[in-house]
Amino acid sequence: MNEGKSINLRSYVFGFAASLALTFGAYALAVRHSLTRRWLIAALAVLALTQFMVQLVAFLHLGRETRPRWKLLVFGFMVGVVVILVLGSLWIMYNLNYHMSLQQQYQYLNNQGDGI
Amino acid sequence: MNEAAERDNRSIFGFWVYLMTDCVLFASLFATFAVLRNSIFGGPSGSQLFNMHYVLAETLALLTSSFTCGLMFLAVRARDKKRVLMWLAVTFLLGLTFLSLELSEFARLVHDGDSWRRSGFLSGFFTLVGTHGLHISVGLLWMSVMAAQTLRRGLTNNNVRKLTMLSLFWHFLDIIWIFIFTIVYLLGAARL
């Protein structure tokens, strides 16, 4: 788990400069409204994920440890849980909205009230 | 590797595992926010509420503090007490700047009647961003304790271990902020 000599000033300066560039890029894209909705979401997602990986490697030194790579293993498991949690929630709630119109929801709530 | 260093590495790994579980906590808050994003209940939406210049300033303060925290960690590895204390102070001040900007934004929202009670969207917003702010406050408290410990006892093995964990914690909070900045503020401001 000892990362050794790969941690140096250069890696931090690179991480900082790249993060600054990615932040300003994403900010400019979002504020100027120059892209269509779908492209904007895609571009912002790519920029955020790139910055995520830059900071993981440059600041948290992920993947720089010697074998066995326990940190990387726990990290991978976390990513799996997070993806299932977030995408699963969005999928379920989208389906719920899709299958139940607003009127149906009101009817359902009214019927519930009658039962009491 | 001697026994003490082995033990320190184990506890740093334990702290890493804690950070990963904290990511799962934030993921559930992100999922809640994403689901409630459009439930504004006739109230204001993100694009009407957020002052983007303000948010950019917050982001830059936190990003720079993450960088100076890295410089602090390099000083720890070089066992340079003076530089450790200097970068710790710089990181603390930048973190404090971030926190005060965030709190004044919260105060403005609450003052205008747009608190967490206004809509589902605002409940999700305050819970997600507030939890991050709480972590930042804990980090600032930890930094002041570590500064006092380093001043009194110097860079002992114990302090080196704790400063290493502190730097992991602080970088982790900046990584969470990338996603808050993108998902809450940028996508919110773009009226999607």
ipTM: 0.92
Q: Which of residues 76-105 of A touch B (CB under 8 A)?
A: 77-78, 81-82, 85-86, 89-90, 93
Question: Is the Cβ of B63 closer than 8 Å to some Cβ of chain A?
Answer: yes
The percent of residues in chain B predicted with pLDDT above 70, rounded, is 98
The answer to whether the peptide bond before residue A68 is cis (omega within 30 degrees of 0) is yes
Same domain, A6 and A17: yes
- pLDDT for B30: 96
A6 pLDDT higher than 90: no
Mean pLDDT, to the nearest integer, of A83-112?
Answer: 83
Helix (H) or strand (E) holding B54: helix B52-77
Domain coordinates of chain B in residue numbers? 3-32+49-189
- pLDDT for B14: 96
**More confident site: A108 or B104:** B104
State residue B39 phi and psi, 5-degree precision. -85, 70
Same domain, A9 and A60: yes
pLDDT, tens only, B19-61? 999 999 999 999 999 999 888 888 888 888 999 999 999 999 9
Report the alpha-carbon distance of residue B101 to residue B159 in Å, rounded.
Answer: 30
pLDDT tier, A113 (very low <50, low <70, confident <90, very high otherwise)? low
Q: Which of residues 33-52 of B touch A (CB under 8 A)?
A: 34-35, 52
| Alpha helices for A1-116 (secondary structure H) | 9-32, 37-58, 70-99, 102-115
A24 pLDDT higher than 90: yes
pLDDT, tens only, B81-136? 999 999 999 999 999 999 999 999 999 999 999 999 999 999 999 999 999 999 99
Residue ending a domain, choose from A40, A66, A92: A66
Query: Structurally, what CATH architecture does the domain formed by B3-32+49-189 represent?
Result: Up-down Bundle (1.20)
Mean pLDDT, to the nearest integer, of A7-34?
Answer: 93
Residue ending a domain, choose from A50, A66, A82: A66
Same domain, A79 and A53: no
What DSSP assignment string belongs to B20-46? HHHHHHHHHHHHHHHHHTT--TTS--H
pTM: 0.91
Chain B positions touching A37 (Cβ under 8 A) are 190, 192
Range of the domain at A75: 68-116
Same domain, A24 and A61: yes
Report the alpha-carbon distance of residue B37 to residue B188 in Å, rounded.
Answer: 9
- pLDDT for B155: 95
A98 pLDDT higher than 90: no
Same domain, A24 and A39: yes
Same domain, A111 and A100: yes
- pLDDT for A1: 42
Same domain, A89 and A100: yes
Say how many CB pairs under 8 Å bridge A and B. Answer: 115
- pLDDT for A63: 83
Same domain, A72 and A62: no
Same domain, A55 and A72: no
B192 pLDDT higher than 60: no
Which one-letter DSSP state was computed for residue B114? -
Report the alpha-carbon distance of residue B6 to residue A1 in Å, rounded.
Answer: 9
A2 pLDDT higher than 70: no
Domain count, chain A: 2
What DSSP assignment string belongs to A71-104? HHHHHHHHHHHHHHHHHHHHHHHHHHHHHS-HHH
Same domain, A116 and A79: yes
Same domain, A81 and A101: yes
Same domain, A98 and A46: no
Mean pLDDT, to the nearest integer, of B182-190?
Answer: 90
